[in-house]
Amino acid sequence: MSFRERSAWVMGCTLILIGGFYLKLVIGDGVPPSFAAVPFVLGTIVVSIAAQVVLAVISPREASSPVDERERLVIQKATHFSSYVLATGVVVGLGMFMISQDGMKLFHIVLTSLILGQIADYGAQIFLLRSRV
């Protein structure tokens, strides 16, 4: 497994765990987003940096090498795919807002779309790194 794939796995799993916990707090338990957002952002940053440092220590050579042409293509395709996930969520959120006029619901849907879009990005990277590009 390449460094890029390991990195995508770590970032995807981090977002699933921390993003899932955030959504459980905010949507499930009714904690105000203003209270849950700071731990979510800080948690994501700290865990991501720690995981990247560990990966870099394990594979220092690969970690320091620049993204090559195939990896760049994979990242572009994965970002293109994830943009549809984000756009779909935003359109659904705006539609819901037009119907219900509920700004908090719009916030939740857009933030959930952002998290799902990033998870889709990493998932697509893993898939493309293993398949024919």
Partner 1 sequence: MSQAALGEAVGVSRHTIIAIEQARYSPSLETGFRIAKVFNVGLEDVFGWEGD
Q: Where do contacts with partner 1 occur on this chain (CB under 8 A)?
A: 2, 4, 62, 65, 68-71, 129, 131-133
- The Cα–Cα gap between 58 and 79 comes to 27
Rg of the chain over Cα atoms, rounded to whole angstroms, equals 17
Query: Helices 103-130 & 69-100, crossing angle to 10 degrees?
Result: 160
**Nearer Cβ to partner 1, position 25 or 52?**
52
**Nearer Cβ to partner 1, position 65 or 83?**
65
Indicate the Cα dihedral angle 95, 96, 102, 106, nearest 10°: -80
End-to-end CA distance of the chain: 16
- Taking the complex as a whole, the smallest distance from the CB of residue 68 to partner 1 amounts, in Å, to 4
- Taking the complex as a whole, the smallest distance from the CB of residue 133 to partner 1 amounts, in Å, to 5
Q: What's the one-letter identity of residue 49?
A: I
**Nearer Cβ to partner 1, position 86 or 129?**
129
- Taking the complex as a whole, the smallest distance from the CB of residue 94 to partner 1 amounts, in Å, to 39
**Nearer Cβ to partner 1, position 15 or 129?**
129
- Taking the complex as a whole, the smallest distance from the CB of residue 69 to partner 1 amounts, in Å, to 5
**Nearer Cβ to partner 1, position 29 or 69?**
69
Q: Do 71 and 65 form a contact (C-beta atoms < 8 A)? A: no
DSSP 29: S
- Taking the complex as a whole, the smallest distance from the CB of residue 70 to partner 1 amounts, in Å, to 4
